[in-house]
């Protein structure tokens, strides 16, 4: 026994050592990562030489992996729903066995008085048996039905999350595209200024050797050049950062060169939101926000949890009907037969804990209800904040635009005066720096205006992008986006609110549907 124990211990030890997985090597990790990148980029069509906003948006929707993860999650929830539906069906069990022994089993019969008889009972050395039975636990059916309903709610939640991710992705691409395009335009506009800086640096070297020029003038001149150089470095960083973010959203190679076309005109104009019907806007928000709809489904899941608690406290009844049995023992008179049975089981601990579990389930319902109320207030607040933010930015943009025009006019004046030897290079550089800074501020504000307007559309929960656009080829997706955004181009935000409200509430008026 000791030897057998030692051998068993050694075998177990060797088996345990053999199943431990070795860590991935550097080559394996590198090869897997490069293969993933090749697979990702091989599925994409090459970008055009000059990419416009619609192509960027279509690429983001089709190739952004974060959005595709949400779609896969939706498909996973749908698959789990189908599995949950199968658990409600009756169980059809088929079993079989093969039994054999080294010698024949035989025995003499015994009378009722307990005395042996001359009758010999025997069975074959090998016996085969089989059984097919249909059973259905009624309690499990009720619980599995409720859980299948819960899973159907999870499918709806996953669809709302994917819908929200799609609209959020469009907003992020818009913000990134705006930043990259603005920086690209400023980089092109400052090429002449970069040449002026290089010439001015050469003049500065000569001026430092001229002792007739006051030291203060040289230092001011040098300070202006350094300020100009710092602005160009900041602008270059802003451009590189925006392009990198756009590549990431579109899942393009990190060294892919991108030249961006101007944004559509609707993104470059300020809208007047004075005539927006706020009650209609709130009503659209309450029925369209994906977070609110998802939380409403979560609240329904909590209510199903109360039913599950009640069902689990009931006794389980399992009828077994039409069980077919077979035994290969040739000495049996009836070796094929049918049987029926009814099994009853009751977990009394579930019954004893029913008051506590029921109260906990009720608290879960209240918890989800409070979350829905909090999300409702948050959604309305976000919508009103985006509305107020846009109006504020619109007024600020009007002032910034005037500042840019003034700075640009001052730069032209100094440039003309320098040609007439009435202004110095230092004055031209400083005025040019002010014009560049004013242009950057104006571009930033118009970009913020477009971003906040997109957030306003996003906050009311309407679908700006078609939900099935991912399944279209890239060229057809671009055309579909142009048609879809044409609605926003032809109608301003107040008109869009009225149109969306009439579609959502076709037979209602604002007084009895919208909030105050």
Residue bearing the bigger pLDDT, 300 or 118: 300
Looking at the structure, do residues 299 and 244 belong to the same domain, yes or no? yes
**What is residue 317's DSSP assignment?**
E
Domain-located, residue 336: yes
Asked whether residue 515 carries a pLDDT value surpassing 50, the answer given is no
DSSP tally for the chain: helices H, then strands E: 15, 6
Q: Are 426 and 227 in contact (CB under 8 A)?
A: no
Domain-located, residue 32: no
Give me the percent of the chain exceeding a pLDDT of 90. Answer: 16
Domain-located, residue 200: yes
Domain-located, residue 42: no
Domain-located, residue 340: yes
Looking at the structure, do residues 286 and 361 belong to the same domain, yes or no? yes
| Domain boundary, last residue among 326, 347, 368 | 347
Looking at the structure, do residues 112 and 142 belong to the same domain, yes or no? no
Question: pLDDT digit string (tens) for 255-287?
Answer: 888 889 888 877 778 888 888 999 999 999 999
Asked whether residue 169 carries a pLDDT value surpassing 80, the answer given is yes
Looking at the structure, do residues 401 and 472 belong to the same domain, yes or no? yes
pLDDT at 231: 78
Between β-strands 116-123 and 126-135, what pairing exists: parallel, antiparallel or unpaired?
Answer: unpaired
Looking at the structure, do residues 306 and 320 belong to the same domain, yes or no? no
The full DSSP string for 103-137 is: S-EEEEEE-TTS-EEEEEEEE-SEEEEEEEEEE--
Looking at the structure, do residues 102 and 183 belong to the same domain, yes or no? no
Q: What are residue 289's DSSP bridge partners?
A: none
pLDDT at 511: 46
Domain encompassing residue 418: 52-90+138-313+353-513
Question: pLDDT digit string (tens) for 47-81?
Answer: 777 888 888 888 888 887 777 777 778 888 888 88
Domain-located, residue 58: yes
Question: pLDDT digit string (tens) for 204-253?
Answer: 777 677 666 677 777 777 787 787 778 778 878 888 888 888 888 888 88
Looking at the structure, do residues 110 and 185 belong to the same domain, yes or no? no
Domain-located, residue 364: yes
Choose the weakest-confidence range: 7-11, 112-116, 180-184.
112-116
Whether the model pTM is above 0.85: no
Mean pLDDT of 28-32: 80
Looking at the structure, do residues 101 and 78 belong to the same domain, yes or no? no
Q: Are 166 and 126 in contact (CB under 8 A)?
A: no
Looking at the structure, do residues 319 and 399 belong to the same domain, yes or no? no
**What is residue 337's DSSP assignment?**
E
Domain-located, residue 150: yes
- Residue 479's alpha-carbon distances to 351, 386, 456, 463, 473, in angstroms, are 62, 29, 24, 17, 10
Looking at the structure, do residues 194 and 332 belong to the same domain, yes or no? no
Closest CA to 157 of 73, 80, 282: 73
CATH number assigned to the domain comprising residue 196:
1.20.1600.10
Domain count for the chain, please give it.
2
pLDDT at 513: 45
| Domain boundary, last residue among 305, 328, 347 | 347
Looking at the structure, do residues 299 and 415 belong to the same domain, yes or no? yes
b/e map 381-406, b = 16+ CB within 10 Å:
ebbbebbebbbebbeebeebbebbee
Q: How confident is the model at residue 22 (pLDDT cuts 50, 70, 90)?
A: confident
Looking at the structure, do residues 128 and 179 belong to the same domain, yes or no? no
- Residue 82's alpha-carbon distances to 145, 154, 356, in angstroms, are 12, 12, 32
């Amino acid at each position: 026994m000791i030897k057998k124990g030692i051998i068993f211990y050694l075998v177990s030890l060797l088996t345990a050592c053999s199943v431990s997985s070795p860590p991935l090597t550097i080559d394996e990790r590198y090869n897997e990562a490069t293969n993933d990148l090749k697979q990702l980029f091989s599925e994409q069509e090459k970008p055009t030489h000059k990419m416009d906003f619609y192509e960027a948006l279509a690429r983001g929707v089709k190739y952004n992996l974060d959005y595709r993860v949400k779609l896969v999650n939706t498909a996973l929830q749908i698959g789990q729903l189908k599995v949950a539906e199968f658990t409600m069906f009756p169980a059809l069990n088929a079993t079989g066995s093969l039994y054999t022994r080294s010698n024949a089993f035989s025995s003499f019969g015994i009378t009722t008085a307990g005395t042996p008889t001359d009758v010999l009972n025997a069975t074959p050395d090998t016996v085969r048996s089989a059984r097919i039975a249909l059973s259905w636990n009624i309690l499990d059916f009720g619980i599995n039905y409720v859980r299948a309903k819960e899973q159907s709610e999870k499918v709806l939640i996953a669809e709302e999350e994917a819908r929200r991710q799609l609209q959020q992705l469009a907003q992020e691409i818009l913000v990134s595209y705006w930043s990259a395009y603005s920086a690209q335009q400023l980089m092109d506009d400052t090429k002449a200024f970069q040449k002026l800086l290089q010439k001015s640096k050469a003049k500065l070297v000569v001026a430092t050797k001229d002792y007739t020029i006051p030291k203060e003038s040289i230092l001011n001149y040098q300070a202006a050049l350094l300020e100009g150089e710092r602005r160009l470095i900041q602008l270059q960083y802003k451009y590189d950062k925006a392009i990198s973010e756009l590549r990431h959203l579109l899942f393009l190679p990190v060294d892919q060169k991108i030249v961006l076309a101007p944004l559509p005109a609707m993104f470059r104009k300020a809208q007047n939101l004075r005539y927006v019907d706020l009650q209609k806007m709130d009503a659209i928000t309450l029925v369209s926000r994906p977070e609110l709809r998802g939380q409403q489904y979560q609240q329904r899941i909590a209510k199903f949890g109360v039913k599950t608690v009640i069902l689990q406290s009931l006794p389980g009844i399992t009828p077994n009907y039409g069980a077919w049995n077979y035994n290969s023992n040739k000495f049996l008179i009836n070796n094929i037969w049918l049987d029926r049975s009814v099994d009853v089981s009751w977990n009394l601990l579930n019954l004893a804990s029913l008051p506590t579990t029921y109260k906990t389930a009720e608290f879960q319902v209240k918890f989800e209800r409070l979350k829905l109320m909090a999300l409702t207030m948050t959604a309305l607040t976000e919508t009103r904040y985006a509305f107020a933010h846009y109006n504020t930015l619109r007024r600020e943009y009007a002032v910034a635009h005037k500042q840019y025009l003034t700075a640009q006019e001052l730069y032209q004046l100094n440039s003309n005066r320098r040609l007439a030897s009435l202004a110095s290079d230092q004055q031209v550089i400083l005025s040019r720096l002010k014009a560049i800074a004013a242009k950057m501020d104006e571009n930033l504000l118009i970009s913020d205006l477009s971003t906040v307007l997109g957030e306003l559309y996003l906050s009311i929960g309407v679908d700006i992008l078609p939900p099935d656009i991912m399944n279209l080829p890239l060229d057809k997706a671009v055309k579909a986006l142009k048609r879809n955004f044409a609605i926003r181009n032809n109608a301003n935000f107040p008109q869009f609110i009225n149109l969306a409200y009439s579609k959502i509430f076709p037979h209602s008026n604002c007084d009895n549907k919208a909030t105050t």
